Structures are given as structure tokens and as C-alpha cells.
A and B are shown apart, each in its own frame.
Chain A
Amino acid sequence: MEKKSEISIVLSGAAGQGIQAVEHILTRVAKDSGFHVFATKEYMSRVRGGNNSTEIRISSQPVKAYVDRIDILVPLNDNAIERLRSRITDETLILGEKRYVEKEKNSIGLMLEEIAESFGNKIYENSVAIGVLAGIINADENALVNNIRAYFLKKSEEVVKANINAALKGYEIGKSLGLKFEITPSEEVKKQYLLNGSEAVAKGAIAGGCNFISSYPMSPATTVFTELSRLSRQHGILVDQAEDEIAAANMAIAAWYAGARAMVSTSGGGFALMTEAISLSGMIETPIVVHLGQRPGPATGLPTRTEQGDLNLVLYAGHGDFPRIIYAPGNLCEAYELGARAFNMADKYQVPVFVLTDQYFLDSFYNVDEMPQAKIERYIIKTDENYKRYALTDDGISPRGIPGYGKGLVRVDSDEHDEYGHITESAEVRRKMVEKRLKKMEKILQDAVPPKLFGSEDYKYLIVTWGSTQLIVREALERLGKKDVAMLHFSQVYPVPPIAENYFKKAEKIIFLEQNAIGQFANLIKLTFDGVDTRRRILKYDGFPFSVEQVVEAISKEVE
């Protein structure tokens, strides 16, 4: 049998059993060995117990998407196998503690607990398992030792040694199993970083000059909030855990008013409360950047699962007419770039800007090169005595001052107002102000991030995606290997970049692929362009991400 250059390992067990630790260490061991890595997790909404799983792909080639295939399943408790039964095939090897796996056809039972105990404690079991897996992929021994050491750094030297020895024992066993995996290392990968979606959004925000975050915790968006808080000292970020989302959003807008670059990080349920502040931002033309990590709704929905179901919410949040910008990054680089860009665009146009991600995106990670360059563009002016906050200009953008910087007064009002910010009920002023606010849309469209085409220019079939599904569909199309199928991915979903129409016109058949129940983006395209056929839709809304295999199958049915 030919040796395989790629492996998909799935670990499954209860919350609190240490799956996270295995994921953390093993992915780093693999990367430091020069292997490409991708990992993603799914978890239940509970702190202890239940059943969670992590998928780790390790490969000679870049891997950046979720697959159904399991090459090695490592169950960490008795119900793990049953929960993943549908994904187990004849090819799947089940490896783990003897009593969990012995009834399975294709399994290797190990005495992990016993081995751990021989080094002093049953809890070293996970280190043995990490070692076995590292041995199977023929990882670098030093990388294994270093990462175990780094992980247990704060523990006593005795505990560190025991874990290392337990892992080395596992490593030896793993190698001796003689499995057919041979993953080729690359020097380049060793120098790269492992980054997840949350870190990419947070670091992008910092690159865009974010210096204020107010939020109220809600999965899966809390991780971005946490990351910015962790970095607050290093980057001079003001952090406030607000009493609720209403406060958080009003704070972020007021922070921009006073001269900060502020963001909130929330999920659909939390954002629902922020919608009143979005129309405030629209009316007082004071920016806000919203990171929204989507999860399935309505209401509390599936708190720890994934969906692309909140596009309509952000598209229509707030009452009245005013412009906004919505980004939905498709990969880590885009998350970083658009995270930064959100701040520059918010500052430039004085409108709310959204960065839409989801649980799958935030919790997935892979090895990346340096992030692209991003620079901070600030548009604040020093005011003079005659400063008018809402001066009427040709492009609708009034120079924005901040209080205490210059001789002018900065006066904003949520009521309809004149150029000075004073309440008015004049029909004429009202009309002019509405037009001024909407006028910005022309320039916003010129600044639109165009959709990206993947695959041949000579396509017959066009798969249309947005946000987090980008890399899953790309891998699916590579597997499908059909020259006449291409993919158009939108990382700016609103306003829809006008250039998109050209791509639609060229296609014989357009197929929208979205992780929601009604095709919210397809509906937006229908609304934007007359005559684009948006009827074909591949939709998934069970809370779990599309897998590469599911996409291959679904697309195969649509193309000849």
C-alpha cells in the first residue's frame, strides 16, 4: 500500500478531559516538524461532560478546511465512538485506551492509562496519546519535547519531566505501529505561525488602530474580546466589559466621538440589542466597528455551533435609511486585512462597519505566513471656531472633529439636525441631511472590495459563496477537478460590489452555497441585480460546518 501524505485525526471526549490540550500541543508539534496543519473544533454548550471533538489535519500540502474523513479516531471516553459513528468507515483506524476501542473492527488498543501511571500519574495519559500520534506521523522528537515543556511551563520540573517521558514512551509506541503515513516536512512551514480566526480578527483590528473595545460576553465572539483585552497593555487599548450590549454599543460610538477607534465583538443575540445604537451611528454619522461572530438562531439557538444566519440582521439593523459596510472574511489573511480596513473605512465614511465571522471560522486555525501590511488611516481634523459638524459637502462627508482638539465645538444629535448639530424640523434641512448621508454610498462603492474568482475564467458553472465557506469550497473544487466550474467568493457582502454583475452574466448556471436556511446572500444579490438567476441554492443549517465531501457531493449534483 502506498504511504499517505496526509492524515485526519479526530479526538473526541467530554469537556474538561483535555482535548484542548492535545489539540494545542499536537498542532504545534506538527507545525514545528515542518508539516502543514489545520484544526477545528466543535463543542457542546456546557463546561463539563457532554461530548466535544477536534479535527486535526496534518499534511505535506497546505490544508485549510474541514473534512468528514477520519483516518484515526481517538476516543477519550465511552460514548465518543457512537457519537461519530456516521463518519467512521472501513478506512478509519480507531486508536486509544483498550477498553474504549476493543470492540471495534479496525482498532488498536493501548494501555494509555497504565503507561501514564508508570510515570507517576494517570493524568499523564494525554501526553502519552500526544506521543503516540506524534510517532505515527513521524514528527520531530525535539518539537515534541519542546512543546510539552512549553505547555507545562508553569508546573513543577517533576511534572514537566514526567509528561515528557510519558510522551516519549508514546512516541516510541507510535513509531512501532508501522502505519502508512509519511508526511514530508518543509523548512518554510517551521517558520510560519499558527493562527485562528479570533486572533486574526483581533490582530487585524489592532493593525487598524483599534484602541477601545466594549462588549458583553457571548459565544463565539468572546474570544476576540478576550484577545484584545489580553493585549490591552501592549497596544494601549481601553477595555470595558459593559453591563449589557446596549451599553457596549453606545460606548463604542461615544468613544469614536471622543477620538478613539472603537469596536464591539458580539454574536447575533447580543447584536439584536445593539441595533438601536446602529441607527444612532447612522444619524450622528459617528462610526462604529462591529465584529459579529455568528451562531445559529433564532434567540439563543445553538450557542456553540456555526451558521451564516445573521446577514439580514446586520443588513437591516437600525431604523431609517443610512449607509453601512459589511465584510465577511473567507480566510485568515482576509480577516486580518478586513479587520484593519473596517476601522479605516468607518473613519473615512463615518458609518457603521461590520465584520461577519462565525463559530467555525473563529475556532479554526492553520499555519500562515506573515500577515499582510495594514496601515492606519485617520481622518480627524483640528476644528476652528466656526466648525460645523455636519457641513454639507459634495460627497456627503463632513470633516470630523473631536471635542478638545481645536477651537471648535463638536455637537452631535440623534434628532434630525442642521449643519451645527442642532435639532430641526425643517423639511428642507431634513431632505438635505438624508441625501447627504446617502450620498456617501457612491464613494463607498468605489472603495468596495471586489469578489475573488477561483478556478478557470472560462467557467460554465459559478458557485457563489461568502464568508467562512471559502476554503471548504476551494478544496472541494480542487477535488472535483472540473475545468468548467469556478467559484466567486465575496468578502465584502454589502454594498455588493457592482463588478460582480459581470461574473454573473458570464455564467450559464449560478449556484449559491450558504450556511443558512433561506439563502440570505442569494436574496441580496437578487435585490441588487435584476435578472441574475438566484434560484439554485445549496444550504446547510444543522449547526455544523459544510465538509469538503458534502460540498463535492452537492456540487456534483448541480453540474454535469
Chain B
Amino acid sequence: MSSAFDPKIYDIPDADIAWCPGCGNFGIINELKTALAQLQLDPTQVVLVSGIGQAAKMPQYVKANMFNGLHGRSLPAAVAIKMVNPNLVVIAESGDGCTYGEGGNHFIHTIRKNPDITNIVHDNQIYGLTKGQASPTTARGQVTTLQFDGVMVDPFNPIAVAVALDASFVARSFSGNFQLTVELIKMAIKHKGYALIDILQPCVTFNKVNTYQWYRENTYLLPDSYDPTDRQAAFKIATDNSKLALGVIYVNPNKPVYEEQLAPYENDKTPVALRGLEV
């Protein structure tokens, strides 16, 4: 194996990309491919699982295995794939509406199970594909294409919920920060257990509030001195709405991994998928 992969090996040459020019998703796709390349992951060993939405189209544009299922259902699918074949690198990737709205119940219970998967959420604080309605993370008061009088409910706080559920790895990034996002994706993939990265992603078409500029002004990088294993500190950071922290916010390295506890793997580590096949 060569010492480093070229991110281009994950390109799909004639892909017809359906994102608007300037969309934050372009940053994330480059960051993901770079992270996969730096980890030297063979495309056949990676499965990208997504739901439905603009963000959920990501696997369409990355050369790897793909399970592009139903709206909100990326997590159950990802958990099952990891159970059946723990050798695969499984990445569930979708938007904030897909993951926290339609898939909210799955978000909670996947964290509880703690399978060894990476969950990347493109958080543009809006519904892109259905043209600009509020998402669970849209701010109170924001006027949208549906909420003419402004959103009347408080936003969902994925980071605080994940910390409250004692998720094993919780991070936030901003798609405009290439280096940071690449590093966090790599850490999340290498982390053993469920890893959430909420990536702030500008939707240049429908969210005129949370722009590149807004994210730059309203985020800050966690200092090196920050201890992510301190749950109380993580809570404080997660619930501080004045500015949004970027980096690894919380880690619990001691949680058992779901699939490793299942009966078929007690004495035999061969993936259930490959049993009885000529390998």
C-alpha cells in the first residue's frame, strides 16, 4: 500500500452534482475525501449511508459503497451494516432535518447503543432540498419559506443532547474550516464507538442568516488545554449559545461497543456477512 492515497481515488468522474454553487456541502465532500485518503481507506472497505436531502446526496458523489436509503433512516441502516460486517468503515451522513427531525428517535437510540460508526451531520439550520423550511436547528424567530411569522419553537441542541446521552465522541466543526474538519473526521473514524460530528454548513440559497460570515463570527476553536473527558465542562460548552465551540467537545472512551457484545461475536470475530462465503 502506498504511503498516502490521493483523495481523487474517491472521485466519481462524471458525477452530476446537484448542489448550488457556493454551497457548504462542497467543503464537506473535499474534507471527507481528504480524511479517507489520509487514513488510506480502500473504497471497497467504506460504506457511506445516508437518508434524503441535499446533504444526503453526498454518497452519490463519493466512490465507495453506498446505501442511500430513506429520509431519517440513515442511522438504523448504518447500525445494521456494522453489526453484520464489523470490518467495514461505516459512515452515516445526512442533514440536520434528516438526522434530528425525521430521524430524531434513531439519533437518541443509536447514541445509546454505541455502535462503532461515524455520524456526520451537515447542519445548515434549514431544509435545503424541500426549499427552505425550518429545520430542528433553525433559530427561534427566523423567517423561512414556510414560517412566515418566524420560527416559534426553540432549536434542538444536538451537542447538548449527545452529551446528555453520554455519547462516546461528540464534535462540532465548520465546513469552511478545512483543516479542522479533516482532522475531526479522521478522529471520529478512528474512535471506537459512536462518533458524532455536527458540521456547520452554510446553505447559500435558503439560509440568509447563517452565512459563512456568520459562522466565522459566531464560532470559536476549543483551546488545546480543554479536557473533552470532563462531562460537566462539555455540558457548559454545549449549552452556551452565545458562541459555538468547534473541536472535540466530549469523549467517553470507556463505553462498550454495541456489535462487539453480540452473541455471534463472542467466540468468532468473522463478520456474520462473510460466514460460509469463500473469502
Contacts and interface: CB of A to CB of B under 8 A. Distances in A.
A202 B174 CA distance: 49
B221 interface: no
A259 B65 contact: no
Contacts of A403: 44, 47, 65, 81, 85, 88
Interface stretch (B70-78, B210-218, B243-251): B70-78
Among B18, B75, B268, chain A packs the most CB atoms within 10 A around the CB of B75
Nearest to A407: B44
A405 B105 contact: no
B68 A280 contact: no
B153 interface: no
Among A236, A380, A404, A415, chain B packs the most CB atoms within 10 A around the CB of A404
B84 A238 contact: yes
A162 B47 CA distance: 61
B80 A252 contact: yes
A214 interface: yes
Among B65, B78, B81, B272, chain A packs the most CB atoms within 10 A around the CB of B65
A423 B60 contact: yes
A215 B63 CA distance: 32
A98 B274 CA distance: 63
B195 interface: no
Contacts of A402: 85, 273
> How many A residues touch the partner, as a band?
35 or more
Interface stretch (A189-197, A242-250, A356-364): A242-250
A408 to B, nearest CB: 7
Given A211-B272, A404-B88, A405-B273, A255 B83 contact: yes
A211 B264 contact: yes
A378 interface: yes
B68 A236 contact: no
B277 to A, nearest CB: 6
B167 interface: no
A247 B105 contact: yes
A260 to B, nearest CB: 4
B66 A239 contact: no
Given A404-B44, A409-B64, A237 B263 contact: yes
Nearest to B279: A405
A236 to B, nearest CB: 4
Among B59, B63, B76, B106, chain A packs the most CB atoms within 10 A around the CB of B76
Contacts of B66: 409-413, 421
Nearest to B258: A240
A123 interface: no
B236 interface: no
A249 to B, nearest CB: 9
A107 interface: no
A403 B266 CA distance: 23
B88 A238 contact: no
Given A255-B80, A259-B85, A233 B263 contact: yes
A414 interface: yes
A251 B65 contact: no
Given A252-B80, A404-B273, A410-B65, A258 B85 contact: yes
Nearest to B78: A254
Contacts of B259: 238
A533 to B, nearest CB: 42
B69 A212 contact: no
A276 interface: yes
A277 interface: yes
Contacts of A244: 105
A365 interface: no
B179 interface: no
Among B63, B84, B277, chain A packs the most CB atoms within 10 A around the CB of B84
A20 interface: no
Contact of B84 (A242, A259, A284, A422): A259
A211 B273 CA distance: 9
29 contacts: A212-B272, A232-B262, A237-B263, A237-B264, A238-B83, A238-B84, A240-B83, A250-B70, A250-B73, A251-B76, A251-B79, A255-B83, A258-B88, A259-B85, A259-B271, A259-B274, A259-B277, A276-B70, A280-B69, A280-B70, A382-B278, A404-B87, A405-B279, A407-B44, A412-B66, A412-B67, A412-B68, A413-B60, A422-B15
Given A257-B81, A258-B84, A382-B278, 13 more contacts: A232-B262, A236-B268, A239-B262, A246-B76, A247-B105, A250-B77, A253-B77, A259-B271, A403-B65, A405-B279, A413-B66, A422-B15, A423-B60
